[in-house]
């Protein structure tokens, strides 16, 4: 049985999941000009994307966003797994922010006015990285509770209680 997300993880999962799912659904309806614009920006940061036609790239991006957003919103998806998906996705977006000219002030990480919409991806990356440590925190807390109760636990216990 998969445990439900911890209460502390629900709000960031809902907020980021809904945001990403919505942008993915909007991209599924993207017109040709939108697809070409998205593809041009992505090609600037990641030249290997040149080989993929703009319409296909946009559809793949949209499906990725729908999948990541859905994983975050689905309570049966473990937080750590949802965090892995979010971290990978947001890492690619932060790469865009860092590589596309005009997004940052020269010699700085501070966004230009054009870069402000993309700067939010750093927040998603931070949330994803925080989720990656979620199950480790839960396991350590459970181990401490068992130690406090005097119960024997994992043979590689680091608390040296037994």
C-beta separation of 44 from 99 below 8 A: yes
Rounded CA separation 132/14 (Å): 16
Kindly state the tokens that stand for 24.
């993915």
pLDDT confidence of residue 154: 56
Report the chain (162 residues): mean pLDDT per 10 consecutive residues: 82 96 97 97 96 97 98 95 96 95 94 92 94 69 66 58 52
Rounded CA separation 86/80 (Å): 10
54-84 pLDDT per residue, tens: 999 999 999 999 999 999 999 999 999 999 9
Rounded CA separation 59/62 (Å): 5
Q: Identify the DSSP state of 52.
A: S
Q: Which residues pair with 111 in a beta bridge?
A: 104
pLDDT confidence of residue 20: 97
- Domain map (residue ranges) of the chain: 9-137
pLDDT confidence of residue 143: 67
pLDDT confidence of residue 5: 82
Give the sign of the dihedral formed by CA 74, CA 80, CA 83, CA 87. Answer: negative
pLDDT confidence of residue 3: 74
């Amino acid at each position: 049985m998969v445990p439900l997300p911890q209460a502390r993880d629900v709000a960031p999962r809902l907020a980021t999941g809904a945001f990403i799912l919505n942008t993915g659904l909007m991209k599924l309806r993207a017109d040709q000009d939108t697809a070409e614009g998205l593809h041009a920006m992505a090609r600037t940061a990641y030249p290997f994307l040149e080989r993929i036609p703009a319409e296909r790239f946009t559809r793949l991006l949209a499906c990725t966003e729908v999948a990541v957003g859905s994983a975050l919103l689905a309570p049966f998806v473990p937080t750590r797994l949802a965090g892995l998906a979010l971290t990978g996705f947001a890492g690619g977006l932060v790469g865009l922010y860092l590589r596309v000219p005009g997004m940052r002030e020269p010699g700085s990480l501070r966004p230009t006015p054009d870069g402000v919409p993309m700067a939010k991806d750093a927040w998603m990356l931070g949330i994803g990285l925080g989720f990656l440590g979620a199950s480790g925190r839960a396991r350590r807390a459970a181990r401490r509770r068992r130690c406090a109760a005097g119960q024997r636990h994992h043979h590689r216990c680091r608390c040296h209680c037994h």
